[in-house]
Chains A and B, each alone.
Chain A
Amino acid sequence: MIEIEIDGKKIGAIEGETVLRAAKRLGIKIPTLCYHEAVSPSGACRLCSVEVQEGNRNKVVTACLYPVRPGLVVKTDTERIKKLRKGIMELLLARSSTSETIRELANEMGAQGGKFLEDKNKCILCGLCIRVCDEIVEAHAISFVGRGIEKKVATPFIEISDACIGCGGCAYVCPTGAITIEGEFIKLEDNIFGKLNEFRKKDTGETMKEILKIDSEGQ
């Protein structure tokens, strides 16, 4: 065990675990979007940014990835961090102006809508679906394709994929409801990933919870 400090509170932590995990034990809530404890962290949404001080260096890092080291001092709620999270949410709000999840979170962060031109993408490219498909289901049916603003989540050649086993884990984990199950199809906009399998057709999502080992608090 090592000792670190988060928002002025001293806490014992395991060297190498992430700031996000240590903070959670302290009951300090750090907002996340692309994080799920069932899969590896990615650092894509940047919402969990916090300030850390090591020696005399002060920097902004993402809590989901930053490993704790002895003597680490973390601040999760500075003016800079608040401004950053607000900025991130304003950008996401412009991307997904109609998404309920995004609007709620944006509201929480004090983000204002209407600053930029608005799009109506449901998918925020957090990549949770891909990580669940790769790391838990191990089906590797979907991935990111393209780059930059053209980037999307898709099956190869945007066609129904043979690799998809129809578990619907992607739809289950999707934070914005961009991946949907319509009838027997699992899809993201007009890209059908695959057909829901027989077992999942009868299931209400409890199996998925079990598979993803989600504890009582969710994430």
Chain B
Amino acid sequence: MPFRAEVLICMGTSCIENNSFEIRESIKGELKKHNLTEEIRLVSTGCFGFCDAGPIILVQPDGVFYQGVKEKDVPFLVEEHFLKGRPVKKLMYTPPKEKIPIPTLPEIPFFRQQVLIALRNRGLIDPEKITDYIARDGYAALAKVLSTMKPEEVIREIKSSGLRGRGGGGFPTGIKWESCRQAGERRKEKRYVICNADEGDPGAYMDRTIMESDPHSVLEGMIIGAYAVGAHEGYVYIRKEYPIALDRLNTALEQAREYGLLGKNIFEQGFDFDIEVHRGAGAFVCGESTALMASLEGKAGVPRAKYIHTVEYGLWNKPSCLNNVETWSNIPVIINRGAKWFTSIGTGDVSRSPWGGSKGTKVFSLTGKVNNTGLVEVPMGITLRDIIFKIGGGIKKGKKFKMVQTGGPSGGFLPEELLDLPVDFDSLTNVGSMMGSGGMVVGDEDTCMVDMAEFFISFLVTESCGKCVPCREGLKRMKEILERISNGEGKEEDIGLLEEIAFTLQYGALCGLGKSAANPVLTAIKYFRDEFEAHIRDKKCPAGVCKELIEYGIDPEKCTGCTLCARKCPVNAISGELKQIHVIDISKCIKCGICYQVCNFNAVFKK
């Protein structure tokens, strides 16, 4: 019997963290109480992407979008919406500074600007049900490939789609597949396909979300890829910190085997293929293809020179085709809708070579000081401004935009002048940043660029594998220099020294991670040089972040003597009686900034 409505509740990591399990159980109970279980279907979905608004519930078919739902809201919600037919306004999304709530998902600006390919099924299906995936054209592309296309035709289609690797490298996927197939055919060797699910950029969770919300899309892509390159064995290398993604992937694998979509004689077309899951131990460097393959072989995850490509000699010295989660999940859509359709989205011209442009979409995890943090999928060529201000809803608390970092820890910081830059592989590289795997961190006027550069270099210092001199030693020295600049001990020659180390890294480091590791420092100096100079020459931190360079004080004109700051100060550095002007004892002050945050009269200042 058909249901009259579906209640889709987000079971992504972020919503689970905010009690979506409990909310789901509560909805189940309420539906039962009102005898609605035959009429209303409750579906657990993967992440919707709008994590800032979680926990999220979507009611279909009308598309009503509820956000920030709490367990205590459930009885009222079920009664109002499903018994009385009155959607609950107070749980709908209201954009910052506006008063009228937006009732349905497609009308919300965060979703309206997005174009979904990799995330096509997010929030729409139960990721643990293969039938849900099949109902939305799942495995149709695989059927088409196995029954009507030769491997070479599949490769040609992917090549002409212009699809480039979504994991960071931006290498044309079709060319990679072709080289792998040719190497295998030439040497009559077995081949492997590998899915890189070792997503490690801080704050980025594109791949996790795809695996959590639509694991079959990755598997289908891999099976198609395996057929194209002629592989019969595949691996998913997934980081250990993704338990939910791992569970859903394993469930998907079991179901796919049950349905005959993996294993022997798939679709009775004589093609055999199966996938094994390997858990990484959480090393950032294992996202680098050669380190990943070393780790898969049971060796330490350390990169090797890629003068001989992994498509020739990869895993166990066999031709190996490694693509990232997002790349794989794009494949079925390209097969279903055709390369021509895919090339209609994005920038450049790929009719002669896939290097000619950036086609399709890219998933970004939008984090930092934007209003709508979350996961967004946008067409290539969209401007940074559109992502940050239209989809992201602008900067938090009405503050001023300062910079956006794209491409993860080794991406670059881009200033306001570059907000109208179209986002694609080549334009981001041209300005000293990169597409990377899709991290996008936004900073506002309170962000200090020396501090930011130090943060990311510190991350890279701990994650460097330590094999080659430039990366191991260079990053350590960069960190030392940045630390002293932020402590007010910077020297005139420090900017030059940072640039020298950056040169050694760019040209000397062994792997891509090391070669790009200087990007944060180089772009910070290139676009925010005056801020470095202020730290070094004037011993000032213009953004008021670097502790050693700032001092807190209380403006006697504004202080009302409310005592709040004195009560909150953890070291009793503030003195003053009720209704008297308060004073900070600089010798005791640890510059934690609590007084600055709690003052209701803006009387506490930084200088």
Contacts and interface: CB of A to CB of B under 8 A. Distances in A.
Interface of A: 42-47, 49, 60-62, 65-67, 80, 83-84, 87-88, 90-92, 94-95, 115-117, 124-125, 143-144, 146-151
Contact of B305 (A43, A116, A124, A148): A43
Contacts of B476: 149
Given A65-B305, A91-B501, A151-B472, 13 more contacts: A43-B305, A46-B469, A46-B508, A49-B508, A88-B508, A94-B473, A94-B477, A117-B477, A147-B462, A147-B465, A148-B461, A149-B473, A150-B466
B263 to A, nearest CB: 38
A148 B469 contact: no
Contacts of B509: 46
Given A94-B477, A116-B480, A144-B300, A44 B307 contact: no
B558 interface: no
A114 to B, nearest CB: 11
Given A67-B308, A115-B497, A148-B464, A91 B469 contact: yes
Contact of B507 (A65, A80, A90): A80
B510 interface: yes
B474 A46 contact: no
B123 to A, nearest CB: 38
Interface in B263-320: 283, 285, 300, 302, 304-305, 307-308
Contacts of A144: 300, 302, 466
A148 B463 contact: yes
B467 interface: yes
Nearest to A33: B469
Contacts of B501: 87, 91
B357 interface: no
B472 A125 contact: yes
Contacts of A44: 467-469, 510
A49 B507 contact: yes
B307 A88 contact: no
B508 A60 contact: yes
A66 B497 contact: no
A125 B471 CA distance: 13
Nearest to B473: A91
Given A92-B469, A144-B300, A87 B504 contact: yes
Q: 4 closest Cβ contacts across the A-B interface?
A: A151-B466, A87-B504, A91-B473, A148-B464
Interface in B428-474: 461-470, 472-474
Nearest to A83: B503
Given A67-B308, A87-B504, A117-B477, A149 B510 contact: no
B185 interface: no
- Looking at chain A's contact residues, the main secondary structure is mixed
A46 B307 contact: no
Nearest to A66: B307
A147 B283 contact: yes
B500 interface: yes
A125 B507 contact: no
B45 to A, nearest CB: 38
Interface residues of B, number: 35
Contacts of B462: 147-148
B307 A65 contact: yes
Interface string B509-521: 1100000000000
Contacts of B466: 125, 144, 146-151
Contacts of A91: 469-470, 473-474, 477, 501, 504
Contacts of A117: 477, 480
B468 A84 contact: no
Contacts of B464: 147-149
B568 to A, nearest CB: 38
A90 B496 CA distance: 14
Nearest to A45: B469
Contacts of A65: 305, 307
Point out which of A42, A91, A92, A149 has the most chain B C-beta atoms below 10 A from its C-beta.
A91
Nearest to B467: A44
Contact of B472 (A66, A67, A80, A149): A149
B472 A148 contact: yes
A46 B503 contact: no
A148 B465 contact: yes
A88 B504 contact: yes
Nearest to A117: B480
A88 B510 contact: no
27 contacts: A42-B467, A43-B510, A45-B468, A46-B468, A46-B469, A46-B508, A49-B507, A65-B305, A80-B507, A91-B469, A91-B474, A115-B497, A116-B477, A116-B497, A117-B480, A125-B466, A143-B300, A144-B300, A144-B466, A146-B466, A148-B462, A148-B465, A149-B461, A149-B472, A149-B476, A151-B467, A151-B472
A47 B465 CA distance: 18
A25 B386 CA distance: 58
A45 B473 CA distance: 11
Nearest to B465: A147
A115 B473 CA distance: 13
A151 B307 CA distance: 25
B177 to A, nearest CB: 22
Contacts of A87: 470, 500-501, 503-504, 508
A147 to B, nearest CB: 5
Contacts of A84: 503-504, 507-508
B485 to A, nearest CB: 14
Nearest to B307: A66
A204 to B, nearest CB: 32
Contacts of B477: 91, 94, 116-117
A178 to B, nearest CB: 15
Contacts of B474: 91
B504 to A, nearest CB: 4
Nearest to A91: B473
A80 to B, nearest CB: 7
Nearest to B504: A87
Contacts of B307: 61, 65-67
Contacts of A90: 500
B487 to A, nearest CB: 14
A51 to B, nearest CB: 9
A84 B515 CA distance: 13
B317 to A, nearest CB: 14
B282 to A, nearest CB: 11
A3 to B, nearest CB: 19
A66 B504 CA distance: 19
B48 to A, nearest CB: 36
Interface string B365-396: 00000000000000000000000000000000
Contacts of A95: 473
Contacts of B508: 46, 49, 60, 84, 87-88
Contacts of A150: 466
A124 B473 CA distance: 10
Contacts of A146: 466
A124 B262 CA distance: 48
Contacts of B473: 91-92, 94-95, 149
A87 B497 CA distance: 10
Contacts of A143: 300
